Amino acid sequence: MTNDDDAAARRVAGQPRGGGRRESADAAARRIADGVFWLGGCLSAFSAGEEVHYHVSSYLVIGSRATLLVDTGDPAHRPLVLDQLERALGGRPLDYVFPTHPEIPHAGNLPALLERFPGARVVGDVRDYALHFPESEGRFDAKRPGDAIDLGGREFRFLPAYIRDLENTLWGYDSGARMLFVSDGFSFIHDVPSPDGEDEPAHRPGQCRLLSSEMPAPPSVEQAAYGTGRALYWTKFVDVSSAFAEIERTLAELPTELIGPAHGNVIDDVDGMLATSLAAHRRVYEDARI
């Protein structure tokens, strides 16, 4: 249940945090669209004496009929995520949990969520989940790309993960907010120092809930390439042009105003970030050929 990016996140979590749980205050839930909340916390580390953050985000989608949580957040943030969720739900139950893949920052709070919300069902590519969570067998509903759930007034559709680190990763799309949920895809570092010995997508304290257009400057291709090459090591060896053609086809079919990565600021300037991300992936691939 680990990979480069998430294993590194665990290491960051183990480092001293100068402000105690200060990241919790920075990372208060934000309503980013009608019926969509950005939840989760940040892991923090120090680099050259400066504190930097790494997102471990979840997103709550609220329809008139049902509610759905994309990714569970990290167990290090369990009380924070449960508290944010209760507030955002405003007394409604959580009906669906969609871990984009079975890694700790994405599925680690599943037992706590299923205990808190006894009616909730787990949706997604849930192969092998009963092995990880045998006590919850019977609450897993397998979904394939193209399947959809009617949340009431909006539809949540499951999509292939065009950029992924595990075979059973899925992306999602909410028709209500026209928002694409991309798991480990589209994680950028911004203009901040990387934590010592770590190369994670990072932001500064206070920037935790900023949309990409609200950040002081968009990430450069170099920064995006740096984060991409470290977090998704396989992209050194795979030409992602075809993946981006698929992503562009998806965006043409499903108009997208927001992109929600698990480990990066929410993207609201979709066209610009797509161009940067594609250029970054190409840079990583071409540099690995030299």
Q: Counting contacts by CB under 5 A, is residue 107 touching Zn ion?
A: no
Interaction residues for Zn ion, span 177-206 (CB under 5 A): 184
Return the number of the residue (38 or 96) whose C-beta is nearest Zn ion: 38
Q: Is residue 161 within the footprint of Zn ion (CB under 5 A)?
A: no
| Closest to 195 in 3D by CA, of 17, 23, 40, 58 | 17
Q: Which is nearer to Zn ion, 151 or 208 (CB)?
A: 208
**In what order do the strands lie in the sheet containing 50-62?**
30-33, 36-47, 50-62, 67-70, 96-98, 121-124, 140-142
Contact pick of 208, 240, 274, 280 for Zn ion (by CB under 5 A):
208
The count of other CB atoms within 10 Å of the CB of residue 29 is 19
Q: State the number of binding residues for Zn ion (CB under 5 A).
A: 6
* Binding to Zn ion, residues 259-288 (CB under 5 A): none
Structure-block tokens of residue 235? 């992209």
- We find the least distance from the C-beta atom of residue 225 to Zn ion, in angstroms, to be 18
Strands 121-124 and 96-98 come out as parallel
The smaller minimum CB distance to Zn ion, of residues 5 and 268, is found at: 5
The residue (of 114 and 208) whose beta carbon lies closer to Zn ion is 208
Query: Measured from the CB of residue 54, what is the shortest distance to Zn ion in angstroms?
Result: 8
Q: How far is the CB of 202 from Zn ion (least distance, A)?
A: 9
Q: How far apart are CB 158 and Zn ion at their closest, in Å?
A: 18
Q: How far is the CB of 55 from Zn ion (least distance, A)?
A: 6
Contacting range for Zn ion; rule: CB under 5 A; set: 99-107, 152-160, 216-224, 271-279: 99-107
Site residues for Zn ion, window 18-47 (CB under 5 A)? 42
- Pick between residue 6 and residue 95 the one whose CB is nearest to Zn ion: 6
Nearest approach in angstroms of CB 64 to Zn ion is: 31
Task: Return the bridge partners of 259, or none.
Answer: 180, 267
Nearest distance in Å: CB 290, Zn ion: 28
Nearer to Zn ion, 112 or 215 (CB): 215
Question: Least Å distance between CB 126 and Zn ion?
Answer: 17
Instruction: Kindly indicate which of the ranges 70-78, 97-105, 212-220, 277-285 contains the residues binding Zn ion, using the contact rule CB under 5 A.
Output: 97-105
Contact 191, 216 (CB under 8 A): yes
| 66 contacts Zn ion (rule: CB under 5 A) | no
Residues at the interface with Zn ion (CB under 5 A): 6, 42, 53, 105, 184, 208
